[in-house]
Each structure stands twice: as structure tokens, then as C-alpha cells.
Amino acid sequence: MSMIRFEVSAGVASLTLDRPAAFNALNTAGILELSAIAAELSQRRDVRAVLITGSGDKAFCAGGDVSTFVREADRVGTLLQEMTDPLNIAVARLMRLDAPVIAAVNGVAAGVGLSLVALADLAIAADNARFTTAYTQIGYTPDGGSSWLLPRLVGQRRAMELYLTGRTLSAAEALDWGLVNQVVAPEALEDSARSLAERIARGPTGAYGKVKSLLLETLANPLEAQLALEARTIIAQSQTGDGREGVRAFVEKRAPEFRGG
């Protein structure tokens, strides 16, 4: 039985975590499915935006399926290895897609669910959404890129606060901290996220991918290296179909028709 609903329409790939009875928690099968979808997305040129959400109105994703850790306590180390290996591959692939990733947070985002929000390029939350790291509350440590992503989004001090106190952020606090871009009423979330995804899917996907790569490099590079990388990137993008179309449309005073190159 599939744990993630996956479909592509109008250039938008929609991933819906679909275990509402378990608050859309990810078990090994769900993580393997996510990893397989991420692998497929990395090869598809027709996908120009990715939208991730959860099924139901209670949870975006409550994290890993903790009940499995209890049931398989005698092999929990092996189990976690089986989960984190494909999870790490999925996170890296999603972050390196040219297509921007949008999270539509429809409820609780905890543990690896928070990682999925953090890896997204843009995030919209319902005003009843809640955000928590959850890991230390069960005596565990972060996974899914959480310890890499959160300090970059909210700062080292606030990330440490989330881990050490187990604090839960409201949607308004997540907006104030820079964890999400927008907060809307729950009934407006689906339409708002879909509208944003479709607008982005009409944009210059190749340029978006290069922007994502530049921002991933920026904290590791000294200024001079980043300047050189920017120069190489803009030169390369100027010679693509979308690069040519964009400047031509600007000069001709019309809307560009980007094809994702």
C-alpha cells in the first residue's frame, strides 16, 4: 500500500504523505517510497515545481514512526540505519532539484517532518500548524538534515533552543523566525500553495536550480570564490533557451515564455 500520493499536473509534482491515522509519520516503507520518488524527480524534465503536504488536517508529518522503534527495540540501530540511508539520499536529491520545492504545512511538523519543511525552498503554513524538533524529547538526536538546515534558517542560537527545550513553535512564530514564508487560514492553504507552485512551474526552472546551487555554496565559499561562481553561473545561464527568452521578452516588453531550460 502506497504511503505517499504522487502525481504530476501542469508541471507540478504533488507529494502527499498519506498516513493520516499515524499523523503521516514515516516508517521504513514510507522513507523508501520518498527516496524512490526523489530519484524519479531528479530525472524528470517535465517537473518544474514540487509541492509537499500531508493528508488530513492534523499533521504535515509527525516525524519517524516511533512505535516501530519500540516494536523493534532489539534491532533499533539496524532499523535506523535502514531508514537514514535512503532518507539522506532523498533529502540531498530534493534539495538539489532544479525545480523549487514548496512545503504546504497543514498541521504538526515534527522531527523529520520539520526537516522536510526546512529543506523546502519555500514554505506556506496553515495558521494552526505547529513545529517542533521532537528528537531530544524521546532521547534521540536529529536526522534528515535537520542539524544542517535549521541553523541556516533560524540561526545557531534559536536552533539550539529548539533542540534543548523541545519548544513547539506556532505558525506565527515560525513566520517570525524565518522558518516559513507565509501563513494562511487552513481552508486557504491548498489553493495558496497550488497557486504558488503553478506560478513557479511557469518560470525559468534552470535559473531557479542555479540559484539554489549558489545559495547552497554561499556559506562554504569565501567572497572571492562566490563572486567567481556567480560569474560562471550567469554566463552559463545567459546561453540557455530561457536566458535568451528572458532578455528578449524584456526588450520586447512582453511576458516571457519560459520552457525550463
pLDDT at 1: 75
Residue with cell 520539520: 114
What average pLDDT does the segment 184-194 reach? 98
**Whole-number mean pLDDT of the chain?**
97
Q: What pLDDT is stored for residue 261 in this prediction?
A: 79
pLDDT of residue 98: 98
Domain definitions of the chain by residue range: 4-201, 205-251
Please say if the pLDDT value at position 12 is more than 80.
yes
What pLDDT does residue 219 have? 87
Give me the mean pLDDT over the 127-134 stretch: 98
Q: pLDDT per residue over 15-44, tens digit each?
A: 999 999 999 999 999 999 999 999 999 999
Task: Tell me what pLDDT residue 122 has.
Answer: 99
In this prediction the pTM is 0.96
The predicted model gives 88-116 an average pLDDT of 98
Task: Kindly write down the DSSP assignment for every residue of the chain, as one continuous string.
Answer: --SEEEEEETTEEEEEE--GGGTT-B-HHHHHHHHHHHHHHTT-SS--EEEEEESSSSEEE--B-HHHHHHTGGGHHHHHHHHHHHHHHHHHHHHT-SS-EEEEE-SEEETHHHHHHHHSSEEEEETT-EEE--GGGGT----TTHHHHHHHHH-HHHHHHHHHH-PPEEHHHHHHHTS-SEEE-HHHHHHHHHHHHHHHHTS-HHHHHHHHHHHHHHTTS-HHHHHHHHHHHHHHHHTSHHHHHHHHHHHTTS-------
**Across residues 59-65, what is the average pLDDT?**
96
Residue 109 binned pLDDT confidence (cut-offs 50, 70, 90): very high
76 sits in the region (left: phi over 0; alpha: psi -120 to 50; else beta) called alpha
Amino acid at 50: V
Confidence bin at 129 (pLDDT 50/70/90): very high
| pLDDT tens digits, one per residue of 194-233 | 999 999 999 999 999 999 999 999 989 999 999 999 999 9
Q: 49-54 and 12-17: which strand pairing?
A: parallel
- Please name the fold of domain 4-201: 2-enoyl-CoA Hydratase; Chain A, domain 1 (3.90.226)
Q: What mean pLDDT do residues 64-83 have?
A: 93
pLDDT of residue 140: 96
